[in-house]
Amino acid sequence: MARINGNSALRFALTAILYFVYVISLAVNGRVVPLHPYLNGEEKPISNIFDTSKYGLFQVGNGLANTPQMGWNSWNYFGCKINEKVIRETADALISTGLAKLGYRYVNLDDCWSEVQRDSKGQLVPDSKTFPSGIKALADYVHSKGLKLGIYSDAGAFTCAVRPGSLFHESDDAKSFASWGVDYLKYDNCFNLGIEPEKRYPPMRDALNATGHTIFYSLCEWGVNDPALWADKVGNSWRTTNDINDSWASMTETADINDKWASYAGPGGWNDPDALEVGNGGMTYHEYRAHFSIWALMKSPLLVGCDVRNMTAETFEIISNEEVIAIHLGFKEGKFMHMGLMDAFKFGLARFLSKRMSVVLWNRCSKSGTITAKWGTLGLESSTSVSIKDLWKYEYVSKNSMS
């Protein structure tokens, strides 16, 4: 069995939650289980820890999202206060910091990039004050850096900030996005006229496909109609939750909600519990480290939500951890399991690739504690020998350990 001690202290007067998280990669010398359907069953599982039967089976076939998207999104830090200068400087920062080389390639505009009304021809137009050069010129600049540009619209009459939505304008708007060279669309759920999302989201998929320009399609339906059950044929990712905010309580709740749908995500289509809050100031260093670890283990999109032009060294340390990013890109989506009374402890188990696995030990209570993960609980035979590496300390804490 593996034990990791975590020190903690009171963080919130009401929720009294704090933790230490350790992401542990186990290089297994013996046999490990379970395997995933698309690994072709090279080894048969000795136990079935959780359902993987729907993993990666039905995703929309536009050739995108073999791994979850990585990049930056404007909303969590900037809200509506965006302009082309911020976007250009953000693209520059992704390059200069080395984040782009780690996989952070999408530079995504959120709400408020457009004028408040369509033009006389019924077309979307960029806000002339904040994006005077237009989206095409911005896309060209981002592409010149080797990055990709994302944009935002809404499957409703208006966006959440009451700019024009794309409901009933899907064909025209998709053509505009394609002509501008846009690579990614976040498609929100405000002012939806009470029309079921299963009816509102497919038309934009069809419109995007009809342009002949490949665009990553990110549904932001807030998990209202359980999109994991139907969006795999529609988009490349789907929001499973409402908006996150920059707090431990929100992050924890969001992770819990997303966890329900672990078995429905896979190459081509991913569960999306919203962008990262790391670096925005509402949580401690260790809480942000937990946030990043959990999102990586869940194979959630890693869309940085802070101002990367002015991030702290601690923020950069967290979002640039190459070994945690490797878990995000190379393992299958993890599932959380209860390890203590009243959800005080949990551990997350990421699925196997080659003979490795990753585990997050998550202390969610107000006191320090010991989390014990037994080999059988991890799906390992008692005779299995493992090496355990702490991916935040960048060091092995145990080599060739037995149960």
Residues with a known catalytic role: 188, 243
CB 34 within 8 A of CB 305: no
Residue labelled with tokens 């994302």: 150
**Which residues, 6 or more positions from 110, have their beta carbon under 8 angstroms from its beta carbon?**
73, 74, 75, 78, 82, 152, 186
Q: What's the chain's length in residues?
A: 403
Evaluated on CA atoms 94, 326, 250, 194, the torsion sign reads positive
Judged by DSSP in three states, 85 sits in helix
CB 102 within 8 A of CB 308: no
DSSP string, 206-236: HHHHHHTS--EEEE--TTTT-GGGTGGGT-S
Alpha-helical segments (H) within 84-189:
84-96, 134-144, 170-180
- Partners of residue 336 on adjacent β-strands: 348
Q: Show the CA angle centred on residue 277, arms to residues 127 and 65, nearest 5°.
A: 75
Cα separation values, 339 from 123, 351, 361, 378, Å:
54, 18, 9, 12
Cα separation values, 293 from 8, 180, 299, 366, Å:
17, 35, 10, 20
Beta strand residue intervals within 88-167, DSSP E? 106-108, 148-154
CB 169 within 8 A of CB 122: yes
Count Cβ neighbours within 10 Å for each residue of 332-343 and write b for 16 or more, e otherwise: bbbbbbebbeee
In whole angstroms, what is the distance from residue 44 CA to residue 24 CA? 24
Structure tokens at 390: 């702490």
Give the count of beta carbons closer than 10 Å to the beta carbon of residue 203: 18
In whole angstroms, what is the distance from residue 216 CA to residue 150 CA? 8
Taking alpha carbons only, the member of 327, 380, 377, 386 closest to residue 22 is 327
Structure tokens at 209: 């496909």
In whole angstroms, what is the distance from residue 346 CA to residue 362 CA? 5
